[in-house]
Amino acid sequence: MTLDSRKVSTETWLVAGGRPVASGAPLNHPIVPVSTFEHGTERTYSRSDSTETCEALEKVLGGLEGANALAFASGMAAAAAVFDQVEAQSEVVIPDDCYQGVAQIAADGEAKGLWTVTRLDVGDTESWIAARSRARLVWVESPTNPLLKIADLVAIAAAPREPNGLLVVDNTFATSLNQLPLDIGAEISMQSSTKFVGGHSDLLGGVLATRDDELLGQLRKSRSLLGSFPGALETFLTLRGVRTMKLRLERSQANAEVLAERLAAHPAVGVTRYPGLRSHPGHELAASQLSGNGSMISFDLASAEAGDQACARLGLIRHATSLGGIESSMERRALTVGQEHLPPGLLRLSVGCEDVEDLWADLSQAIA
Ligand SMILES: *Cc1c(COP(=O)(O)O)cnc(C)c1O
């Protein structure tokens, strides 16, 4: 019997979805290191025709969103496939607090004269609504990285759209477990699977989900022509990570709720940004839109030096970029190219699955 993602709970689907079912089959799809297939079936070359393991991964991730999904070699490869749909002379809209790689694709295309870019504060809902009626591509993040601003996705998605307009939600911070952009009315939901989906900081991957079959076909074509099909080992590891995604998120999110409260009350900390805090400007919107507040926190120390010292003093929490791993990590974001506009002492903390008291002991000695 094959499982239907709509008939079982998310937890069950993550654990049991997409497994081989033939009698005598192994419980897991294998690592399939292959470029070419013996002639005679629909598969001829893996860059264009996929593999059974990749299709299983896509089935599980698509099932979470009630959609079809495509897996990519990275989050940026997924983003590139989306930008590949944009015709010359159209308008692209991105958040002013946008993942810097995506912002760079948009800016480079603008510099080449391919399209114009409008950068909007995600809190400025009216401007996003107006943009939806003009722009070919409306790319929004919510919560944003690293300021954790919340966009009114429901209002933006419901606005009248440009006839071919695509609303794409970069759902990396929320994940499909806390937010379902397609249910809200977006055309594409995107995640960097490098982060919470894979969850172990041991791979790069990306995923796009859509309910539009024609768009799916175009994105699949872009994946083939841009050469961004995920590697065999990464595909296997991502599917393995997905099995524990809910468990990991629940634990790291529970940890983050505790740490955010304690950071917000700490004398050395300026602003603490976490959607679960009442003091967060997007708190109520987050409560209406997200089923959980996630495990990303950003907070400000007094200066760049104070931030650097705190990172250098970390013992348990890793001083590293990226996020969404089972291990906690932290960095000072203004050090990243393209992020110089951020408060100099802003630290971005990706909360993992360690014991919360161990995490607090490390964090509080580092910022003391
Ligand atoms: C990491 C990240 C990306 C890019 O994904 P990669 O897998 O690193 O290519 C895009 N958006 C957000 C919000 C991210 O955190």
CA distance linking residue 259 with residue 350, whole number of Å: 11
Give tens-digit pLDDT for 183-204: 999 999 999 999 999 999 999 9
Contact (Cβ atoms closer than 8 angstroms) between residue 311 and residue 366: yes
Nearest atom (ligand 1) to Cα of 172: 13
Strand 188-192 to strand 166-170: parallel, antiparallel, or no bridges (unpaired)?
Answer: parallel
CA distance linking residue 218 with residue 165, whole number of Å: 15
C-alpha 38 to ligand 1 mean position (Å):
36
Q: Is 45 in the active site?
A: no
Q: Is 274 in the active site?
A: no
Looking at the chain, the whole-number percentage of residues with pLDDT higher than 90 is 96
Q: Which one is catalytic: 59, 99, 149, 318?
A: 99
Give the sign of the dihedral formed by CA 127, CA 130, CA 134, CA 135.
Answer: positive
Q: For 85-117, b where at least 16 C-beta lie within 10 A, e where not — what string?
A: bbeeebbbbbbebbbeebbebbbebeeeebbeb
C-alpha 364 to ligand 1 mean position (Å):
28
CA distance linking residue 314 with residue 280, whole number of Å: 26
C-alpha 208 to ligand 1 mean position (Å):
12
Integer angstrom CA distances of residue 19 from 12, 55, 57, 176: 12, 11, 9, 20
- The SS3 of residue 45 is strand
With bands split at pLDDT 50, 70 and 90, how would you rate the model's confidence at 338?
Answer: confident
Residues framing ligand 1 (Cβ under 6 A): 74-76, 99, 101-102, 141, 145, 170, 172-173, 192, 194-195, 204, 206
pTM greater than 0.95 (yes/no) = yes
CA distance linking residue 109 with residue 105, whole number of Å: 6
Give tens-digit pLDDT for 297-331: 999 999 999 999 999 999 999 999 999 999 999 99
Identify the CA nearest to 169 among candidates 142, 130, 196. 142
C-alpha 192 to ligand 1 mean position (Å):
5
Over residues 210-236, mean pLDDT: 98
pLDDT at residue 1 greater than cutoff 80: no
pLDDT at residue 336 greater than cutoff 90: no
Q: Which one is catalytic: 97, 170, 300, 362?
A: 170
C-alpha 339 to ligand 1 mean position (Å):
14
Of the candidate ranges 68-82, 195-209, 333-347, the one whose mean pLDDT is the lowest: 333-347
Give the chain's domains with CATH numbers. 10-242 (3.40.640.10), 247-367 (3.90.1150.10)
C-alpha 116 to ligand 1 mean position (Å):
22
The residue whose CA has the least distance to atom 11 of ligand 1 is 99
With bands split at pLDDT 50, 70 and 90, how would you rate the model's confidence at 74?
Answer: very high
Integer angstrom CA distances of residue 52 from 19, 49, 355: 10, 10, 37
Nearest atom (ligand 1) to Cα of 78: 9
The residue whose CA has the least distance to atom 5 of ligand 1 is 75
The residue whose CA has the least distance to atom 7 of ligand 1 is 75
Q: Residue 307: CB partners within 8 Å, gap ≥ 6?
A: 301, 332, 334, 344, 345, 346, 347
Q: Is 112 in the active site?
A: no
Give the mean pLDDT of the chain: 97
pLDDT at residue 218 greater than cutoff 80: yes
Q: Is 195 in the active site?
A: yes
Nearest atom (ligand 1) to Cα of 205: 7
Give tens-digit pLDDT for 110-124: 999 999 999 999 999
Q: For 274-296, b where at least 16 C-beta lie within 10 A, e where not — what string?
A: bbbbeebebbebbeebbebbbbb
**Amino acid 62: pLDDT:** 98
Give tens-digit pLDDT for 265-284: 999 999 999 999 999 999 99
